[in-house]
Amino acid sequence: MPVVNNPFFTGNYIAPEFFCNRNVETQKLVSNLLSGNKSAIIAPRRSGKSWLIEHSLRSREIYRDFVFVNLDIYQVRSLREFIYVFGKELNRIIRLHNIKFQTSAQNEFDKGFEEPYSEDDENSALKLEQLFETMENSSRTFILTIDEFQKIYDFPEKGASDLIKSYIQQTRNTRVIIAGNDELLNGNSEIKPEKSILFPGGPFAHSVSTIIPADITLNDYLFFATYHFRNYSFDISSEAIEEVYANFSGVLWYTQSVLATMFNRAQRGAICNGQMVQTAIDDVLQSMSHTFNDTLFRLPPKQKELLKAIAEEGDARNITSGSFVRKHSLTSQSSVQAALKGLIERDYVNRTFNRDENLVTYSVADKFLKLWLNKI
C-alpha cells in the first residue's frame, strides 16, 4: 500500500482501512459477483458508488480470480463513443493480462484490436456484440462495471439503450455491475419508464440485483473521522465533525473534502474545532473558484441567473411561478422553464420528489458550487 499522508481521500480508492462502513452493501455486491448475479447500484452522484464498487473489487476472493473492465460514461455522448471507450479499455486490459480466448475467433479479436476503435464506426451493433463476445469467450472471467449508466438513455442513436441492456442480459460468464441514478425510482413521475434504469416490471429490472446504499450515519462517520485523526496523532472535536456532516447532509464526497482540508491544517497538541470548519470550507471553495468561474462563463445568461436564484433559495419550490420570477428578477416564467430544462440536462440542478406532498424541489447539484454562488 502506498504511503498515505491524508486518510480522507476524495479521488481514487486507496485501501479498506480508509473506507467508511458500507459493510452490508459490500457483502451483497461480493456475493452477487461470486454467484454470477448482475448488480445495479442506484444512488445520486458523489454518494460513494464508485468507492463501494472499488472496495468490493479489492476483496480477496474477487481480486484474485477476476479481471476488471471499468467504464465511467458520465462524459460519453453517443453509442459510438460508448463502444470506442469500451473497446479501448477492454483492449488495454487484454494486453495488460495477456489474456487468451477459448474460441476460434481469436484472430478476429486480434484483428479488431490492432486497429483502434473509431467514434465514427458505422457498425455499432456488430462492434458491441464483438466486445461482449470477447469477454464471454475469454480464458479469464471479466467483471464489467459501467458507472453513470443512466447516460445511455441520452444517446441519440435509436434503440441504443435497449441494445446495450440486451447484451448485458445475455452475458453468462461475464459479471456485470451497473451504477447510476434513477429518477423514476426516486419519485419523478415525469420520467418515461423506458428511460428508467430499473423501472418496475421491465425485463432488465428482473435480470439484476438492486443495491441502494444507505446513508453513512453520523455515528459511523464520527467514529471513522475521529479514529483517523487520532491515528495520525491529531485530534478533532465531535462538534466539528457533526457540523461538517450537517452542512453537507452526510454526502461523503463533500464531507471528505472538508475533513481532508482540516486534516492538512491540523497541528499536534491542538484540537480541530468548529471554528476551523468554515475556514476549511472557504479553502475548498477558493481552490475551486477557477472551475466555478469557468462554469458560469460557459452558461447562457438565463441559465446563469436561474442557477444563482436556486442557490439563493437552497431548496427552491414553484420556480416557474410568478412570485419566484419576480423575487429573483428573472425574465419570465417561460424563460425559467427553458433554462431549467437546460440546467437539469447538464446536471447542474437536481430535482427531489416528495410523493406524500406531491411536491418537487430544485437544488444546485454541486453543494460547493451552491456555497460559492452565495458568496459572490
Total residue count of the chain as it appears in this document: 376
Helix H or strand E segment including 67: strand 66-72
Q: pLDDT per residue over 213-258, tens digit each? A: 988 999 999 999 999 999 999 999 999 999 999 999 999 999 999 9
At 314-337, the pLDDT tens digits run 999 999 999 999 999 999 999 999
What pLDDT is stored for residue 310 in this prediction? 97
For residues 172 and 334, give the distance between their C-alpha atoms in angstroms, rounded to a whole number.
50
What sign does the CA torsion over 366, 372, 375, 376 have?
negative
Asked if pLDDT for residue 120 goes beyond 60, the answer is no
Q: Domain 300-373 falls in which CATH fold?
A: Arc Repressor Mutant, subunit A (1.10.10)
Rg (CA), the chain: 23
pTM score of the predicted model = 0.84
Q: How far apart are CA 310 and CA 175, in angstroms?
A: 41
Q: Which has the higher per-residue pLDDT, 183 or 106?
A: 183
Q: Which amino acid is at 246?
A: A
Chain segment 122-170, per-residue pLDDT in tens: 677 788 999 999 999 988 999 999 999 989 988 999 999 999 999 999 9
Which of 19-28, 71-80, 121-130, 260-269 is least confident? 121-130
> Looking at residues 194-206, what average pLDDT do you find?
65
Query: In this predicted structure, what is the pLDDT of residue 360?
Result: 85
* pLDDT band at residue 189 using 50, 70 and 90 as cut-offs: very low
pLDDT at position 45 is: 80
Is residue 207 over pLDDT 90? Answer: no
The reported pLDDT for the residue numbered 106 is: 53
Query: What are the DSSP calls for 125-158, one per residue?
Result: HHHHHHHHHHHHTBSSEEEEEEESGGGGGG-SST
Predicted confidence (pLDDT) per residue in 330-356, tens digit: 999 999 999 999 999 888 998 887 766
**pLDDT tens track for 249-291:** 999 999 999 999 999 999 988 999 999 999 999 999 999 999 9
If DSSP codes are grouped into helix, strand and coil, which group holds residue 225? helix
% of the chain surpassing 90 pLDDT:
64
Q: How confident is the model at residue 10 (pLDDT cuts 50, 70, 90)?
A: confident
Contact assessment for residue 233 and residue 256, using Cβ atoms and an 8 Å cutoff? no
Identify the bridge partners of residue 42 per DSSP, sorted by sequence position.
Answer: 180
Interstrand relation of 208-211 and 38-42 (parallel, antiparallel or unpaired): parallel
Question: Are 74 and 147 contacting, i.e. CB atoms less than 8 angstroms apart?
Answer: yes
User: What pLDDT, on a 0 to 100 scale, did the predictor assign at position 324?
Assistant: 95
Nearest to 187 by CA among 4, 21, 374, 350: 350
Identify the residue with better confidence: 75 or 121.
75
Q: How confident is the prediction for the chain on average, in pLDDT?
A: 87
Q: Average the pLDDT over 96-119 and give the result.
A: 60
Residue pair 372/307 in contact by the 8 Å Cβ criterion:
no
Looking at 2.40.30.170, 3.40.50.970, 3.40.50.300, 3.30.360.10, the CATH number of the domain 22-211 comes to 3.40.50.300
